[in-house]
């Protein structure tokens, strides 16, 4: 098993933890490796039915355990009411600690879950990061198959597993969250959303392409976000600017391989245009994965003016802004800095400007921009 960057925090924290993440990112494997005293797997139908019928059973079982004890409850969103029992147990004993996992914040919200403010920490587990993969990392493979552990580590069977994930999980289980009788509408939306992953969202165009109302498109995007399948990157909010800054969101599927499987392009070599688009999305997702695993309270946004100037990602670190332009090219030049320079003029904080690319050398340009190989960029930002 690869060492996950969040593992040390899960093991050492004195607090109970709610660990959210999509299916197949490795939550169960990671939590089981912490040697909990008790594992309650609510994905197992027999366990689910037993605890659904008798919420008091959890308390009766756990008060008999020798203390201190670590308890692991998997897929807790299936029975949100169990969180009330967890709260009661935490109030009664400081010798019990819980790690709860879930793959749908939506189900927890809809179930009126008690998220135990002050008693439990919220963390996320994402697909594998560049650092976690280490020497086994292959950029071409990551852009095509993504970095879900069971897929990228098994390139022979991985494409079949990925196709099944897209078909069974996204098109059937997540479809159930759509609460729509028109299943065809959700399926058409999912294809359109995968095609638009990483782009600034035009709700009207997607509504037209999927032949569904615009408000339904907005609702479906909300479902993808709440079920952790897509990440919303909001527009950068300029304090004051003479330029008209676009206020459109961007949505990116949580793993580029999952996006490719929905479009049926994960088994074949990618075109140069596809590689360029996916490299940008992969860089953004890696920043998100590393922010979460390093517990950075930073904010992400994107910048685009009506005149067409763009910056792929803005990271607000509090004291400064990090502006990132992603290029699949192995070369870097002054012509690629126009978006970064446009952003610098409207930023309200100090800005560090980066071009992240596939080249081998670190370069500094005339207005202070740095071009960094992508590995070196991640090491510099997340050291």
Q: Model confidence over 52-91: pLDDT tens digits?
A: 999 889 999 998 888 889 999 999 988 988 888 888 888 8
Res 178 pLDDT > 70: no
Q: What confidence score (pLDDT) does residue 243 get?
A: 64
Nearest to 382 by CA among 130, 123, 128, 10: 130
Residues 104 and 249 in one domain: no
Copy the structure tokens of residue 225: 């976000």
Residue where one domain finishes, among candidates 95, 125, 155: 125
| Spatial distance between the Cα atoms of 128 and 135, rounded to a whole number of angstroms | 13
Copy the structure tokens of residue 265: 């392009």
Find residue 354's DSSP bridge partners.
324, 370
| Spatial distance between the Cα atoms of 328 and 217, rounded to a whole number of angstroms | 31
Residues 296 and 155 in one domain: yes
By CB atoms closer than 10 A (0-12, 13-18, 19+), residue 238 is middle
Provide mean pLDDT across the span 253-258.
97
| Spatial distance between the Cα atoms of 165 and 244, rounded to a whole number of angstroms | 41
Residues 247 and 327 in one domain: yes
Any domain includes 2: no
Any domain includes 20: yes
Sign of CA dihedral 159, 160, 165, 168: positive
Structure confidence at residue 168 as a pLDDT band (50, 70, 90): confident
User: How many domains would you assign to the chain?
Assistant: 2
Any domain includes 1: no
Whole-model pTM above 0.85? yes
Residue where one domain finishes, among candidates 88, 108, 125: 125
Nearest to 58 by CA among 71, 45, 77: 71
By CB atoms closer than 10 A (0-12, 13-18, 19+), residue 245 is middle
Copy the structure tokens of residue 340: 């970064």
What secondary structure letter does DSSP report for 54?
Answer: -
Distance of CA 30 to the CA centre of its chain: 17
Residues 154 and 82 in one domain: no
Decide: 194 and 261 in contact? Cβ < 8 Å.
no
Residue where one domain finishes, among candidates 106, 125, 144: 125
**Which range of residues forms the domain containing residue 275?**
132-381
């Amino acid at each position: 098993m690869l060492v996950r960057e969040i593992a040390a925090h899960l093991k050492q924290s004195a607090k109970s933890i709610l660990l959210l993440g999509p299916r197949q990112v490795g939550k169960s494997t990671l939590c089981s490796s912490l040697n909990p005293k008790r594992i309650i797997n609510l994905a197992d139908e027999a366990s689910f039915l037993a605890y659904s019928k008798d919420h008091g059973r959890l308390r009766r079982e756990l008060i008999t355990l020798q203390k201190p004890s670590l308890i692991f409850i998997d897929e807790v969103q299936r029975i949100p009411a169990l969180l009330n029992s967890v709260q009661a147990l935490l109030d009664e004993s400081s010798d019990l600690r819980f790690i709860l996992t879930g793959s749908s914040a939506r189900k927890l919200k809809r179930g009126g879950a008690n998220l135990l403010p002050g008693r439990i920490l919220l963390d996320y587990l994402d697909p594998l990061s560049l650092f976690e993969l280490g020497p086994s990392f292959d950029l071409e493979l990551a852009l095509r198959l993504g970095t879900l552990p069971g897929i990228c580590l098994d390139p022979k069977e991985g494409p079949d597993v990925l196709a099944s994930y897209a078909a069974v999980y996204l098109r059937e289980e997540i479809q159930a969250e759509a609460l729509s009788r028109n299943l065809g509408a959700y399926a058409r939306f999912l294809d359109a959303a995968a095609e638009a992953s990483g782009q600034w969202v035009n709700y009207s165009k997607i509504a037209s392409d999927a032949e569904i109302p615009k408000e339904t498109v907005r609702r479906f995007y909300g479902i993808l976000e709440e079920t952790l399948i897509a990440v919303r990157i909001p527009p950068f909010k300029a304090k004051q600017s003479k330029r008209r800054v676009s206020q459109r969101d961007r949505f990116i599927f949580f793993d580029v391989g999952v996006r490719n499987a929905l479009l049926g392009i994960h088994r074949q070599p990618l075109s140069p245009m596809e590689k360029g688009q996916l490299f940008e999305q992969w860089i953004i997702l890696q920043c998100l994965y590393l922010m979460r695993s390093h517990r950075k309270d930073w904010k992400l946004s994107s910048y685009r003016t009506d005149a067409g100037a763009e910056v792929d990602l803005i990271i607000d670190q509090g004291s400064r802004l990090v502006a990132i332009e992603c290029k699949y090219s192995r070369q870097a030049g002054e012509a690629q800095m126009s978006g970064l320079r446009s952003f610098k003029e409207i930023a309200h904080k100090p800005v560090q400007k980066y071009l992240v690319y596939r080249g081998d050398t670190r370069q500094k340009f005339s207005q202070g921009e740095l071009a960094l190989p992508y590995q070196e960029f991640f090491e510099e930002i997340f050291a």
